[in-house]
Structure 1
Amino acid sequence: MKVIKVLNNKEVGKMTAELILENIHSNPSIVLGLATGSTPESTYEYLIGDFKKNKTDWSKVRTFNLDEYVGLEPTHKKSYRYFMDEKLFKSVNINIKNTHVPNGINNTDPEAYDKLIAENGGIDLQLLGIGTNGHIGFNEPGTSFESLTSVVDLAQETIDVNSRFFASIDEVPKQAISMGLQSIMNAKKVVLIAIGKNKAEAIKQLVNGNISINWPCTVLQKHKDVTIIVDEEAASLI
């Protein structure tokens, strides 16, 4: 596990994007696992800036997102499909047919998502954020380390944190479809990013804590190729 500490959110985004670009250049048909939320936005902004300046070719890149809210149509402005389209896909030359986000409406066979990933050769590089309670994807505390993609109930803490993206907490979905912890561990490389003091305890547990389902992120201690990129505040307890 490699830990890289940088100054702030902007530097986290720059370093993460440069790492992703390095991998795209070495493997133009790379399969990327992508994340949503506020943390990776600076990464996506840097990737878009690179495309405008350097025309890095995304035409053969394939992507699989970690999760999606149950009950939100892909066109819903708070859906993660909409987020990815607006924050990245529309601004690079990726083939939209090569981008995959779990279906929050038709999720009768969620493990089919894992099968589709396998059919594409598996995820080469998985980008992760981290929740204040240590969740990765929407794998809340108590999730089995052997879990695959499934419909999950969101912890109240997660609902509370995500309410900032909605008009009211009542509008926040209570369930999501998420890659499981084993789904994430199947990736060849993992890059986890975190910003802000509210992520410091989770990063401390990830780096120095005991491996436990009470902190789902600690499963990554078992992975052979993990890079953690954090700002000063998120790294304040390590």
Structure 2
Amino acid sequence: MEVVITSGAQESARLAADAVEQLLARKPDAVLGLATGSTPLPTYDELVRRHEAGQVSFARARGFTLDEYIGLPADHPQRYRNVIDRELVGRVDFASDAVTGPDGLAEDLQAAAEAYERAIAAAGGVDLQILGIGTNGHIAFNEPGSSLASRTRVQPLAPQTRTDNARFFEDDVEAVPRLCFTQGLGTIMEARHLVLIATGEGKAAAVQQLVEGPVSARWPATVMQHHPHATVLLDEAAASRLELADYYREAYAAKPEWQGI
């Protein structure tokens, strides 16, 4: 796992966008894993800026979202399919059917979860997966206690997650769905490159566990310690509890530029 402590959200966004741009330059039909929430938004804005400048094209790329609320109406602004369309897909040149998300309105939820797994596999797997982390250590909606080998499934949301996400629902926690689809930890770990971004002091405890804690279902993101190509981009506040922060800074400063992230 490579830990990069940046000057802030904009530098993290630039580095994450660099990884996406470089991937698409060498593999224009790459498969991207797209996270929602507030953390990836600066990265998506940076990718849109580069697309508008002619630096990057998504015309041959495909995308899969990480998760989806179950039961939100198709036109609900917080339905994750609508969020990713609004924040990225509709602002660049993805083909009309190139980005897929779990069907939160499916009649047979188990069948929909299994179909989503098959769709990712049929696309050849995810080349680069963008991730955030929850205050309780979840990635996607894999809440504490999730199996480290879990696959796409229906997941009840933890009270902390619903409270954290209430800000997207006019601060009404009761409006936040109780169930979701999520890619499993085992599914996420099959992506060839994981890029996790965390900002703010509120994420510092989860980041400390992610980077320096034991691998445990109590903090699901810690499974990333077993990934062969995982990058963690942190601002100073999110990195504030790391015991080895000085080493991570030195290691990144000494890294050859040609390696990228």
| Range moving further from structure 2, 17-26 or 29-38 | 17-26
Counterparts of 1:154-169 in structure 2, within 5 Å, are: 154-167=157-170, 168-169=172-173
Do 2:110 and 2:153's aligned partners in 1 also have CA atoms closer than 8 Å? no
SS at match of 2:238: coil
Q: What is the TM-score normalised by the length of structure 1?
A: 0.98
Do 2:110 and 2:154's aligned partners in 1 also have CA atoms closer than 8 Å? no
> CA-to-partner distance for each residue in 1:116-135, whole Å, 9 max, x for gaps?
10001011111110000100
What is the distance in 1 between the residues matched to 2:235 and 2:45?
17
Give the % identical residues: 42
Counterparts of 1:1-238 in structure 2, within 5 Å, are: 1-106=1-106, 107-109=109-111, 110-167=113-170, 168-238=172-242
What is the distance in 2 between the residues matched to 1:163 and 1:237?
26
| Structure 2: gaps of 5 or more residues | 243-261
The alpha-carbon deviation at position 13 of structure 1 amounts to 1.2
Do 1:75 and 1:81's aligned partners in 2 also have CA atoms closer than 8 Å? no
SS at match of 2:81: helix
The alpha-carbon deviation at position 55 of structure 1 amounts to 4.8
What is the distance in 2 between the residues matched to 1:74 and 1:3?
38
What is the distance in 2 between the residues matched to 1:92 and 1:53?
11
What's the C-alpha RMSD, in Å, of the aligned pairs? 0.9
Structure with max Cα Rg: 2
> CA-to-partner distance for each residue in 1:46-104, whole Å, 9 max, x for gaps?
00001111252211100001000000134211111111111001111101201011111
What is the distance in 2 between the residues matched to 1:209 and 1:21?
32
Do 2:4 and 2:232's aligned partners in 1 also have CA atoms closer than 8 Å? yes
Partner amino acid for 1:51? H
Which 4+ residue blocks in structure 1 deviate beyond 2 angstroms? none
Q: What is the TM-score normalised by the length of structure 2?
A: 0.89
SS at match of 1:152: strand
The alpha-carbon deviation at position 206 of structure 1 amounts to 0.7
| Structure 1: gaps of 5 or more residues | none
SS at match of 1:213: coil
